[in-house]
Structure 1
Amino acid sequence: MTVQAPAASTGVMPGWRRLLAVAVPLLVLAGCGGGAGGGSTTEAGAVPFADCAGLTTAPPASTAPPDAAAPPTDGVSPDATPTGTSLPAIELACFADGTPVAVDAIRGPAVINFWASWCEPCRDELPALQRLADRTDGQLHLVGVNTWDDRDRAVAIAEDLGLSFPSLVDRDRALLLGVERVGLPLTLFVDDRGTIRHTYEGTVDDVTLAELVQRELGLPVAR
């Protein structure tokens, strides 16, 4: 299932009706944990995520990726869509320390997963992504992109699930829109040239991740 962040209203209405139209959605978001508008915006404090150092160089233990000119293979599911485009030229802050990271400079093999605390399917798949990071042990970059979210809630989810892979912060959905998508969950499979070899829309599990990493990035994953 793909979950879309709630869209802001674009209607214009006079007087008290306009005030209610603005105030009520904000209260609802604050109560149900949706979007980046609710909760604390504090940037300080320890986080479980690793720093983002090294994301712009290929993992030292990686194997050679498949030829980028090779034709795309059939998708694992109807939601899987090969792309073959480069990562967008967007700069995001590292969740761990705020260091800016040029997304288009990330070099794979890499798996980039968009997630948020308000996205239930994202919470379901995050443990599988952490297991992928553990099983590949330095052979690929596992990168989270915390999208349109509240920092404190994101940290709480990461602590509950035992996440440690590096994450970037995308409160404005710049990267999500840059890859021409609007919903979560979403996972990109990126080669050593920064090319998106495959875009997977929907919740991933251990088997799907292992199959896609081996097929698209040429990296066997221990089961």
Structure 2
Amino acid sequence: MQAPLGSGFVGRKHQPSRTSSTEWRRSKGWNSPSWWDLQLSLGIVAQGSAQGVLDFCNVHLAQLHLVNVATALHRIAKAPDKLKAIENIGLQSVIDRIFALLQDGSVDKQPVSLANIFWACAKMGYVDLPLYDVIVEETMRHLVELDCQECSNMCWAFASLELFHGPLLTQLRIRAMDLIPRFDLQDLSNTSWALAKLGVLRSAL
């Protein structure tokens, strides 16, 4: 049974978990122990529409960290009203916040956030080449940290947007080869399709 807690948050009756809050944050690409930071992330996830996510983000825009805006964009891209979001001026505010955070040298750019942002843009059909240049630059710095889904999502985004970046795609192919033993069927299928479509894959993974 759900109970509204106010401010867009939804609560459930507590269920004991074997996963600590610190482990949960780390699994989500969330290293900050700040209670308020966590509430922002939960507030974004609680929204039921792209419009709701944009409204929430624009109220708290200056307080959002990279993982927050990455989560927001991912949520928007999966929402039924995602196409309307592209025409919403609030989306550009979120994109501008992402761009500023990616250019901030003090911000930790974790691969999961980079991949989620790029995947979400591709899912929406949103093209922003200056933003993509920064994502590519940061991804090149974190290649060895890319996990299966992150590598797969990056490849899928390139193919879906029909964009080509030879140096990064070559490195993604090499990283994918290293990750093959850990790929699930969907990761393997998406990565193979994307690299083949882009002409980077000479033979099946």
The two structures have a TM-score, normalised by structure 2, of 0.24
Q: Which has the higher contact order (CA 8 A, sep 6+)?
A: 1
Which structure has greater strand proportion? 1
The two structures have a TM-score, normalised by structure 1, of 0.22
Which structure has greater helix proportion? 2
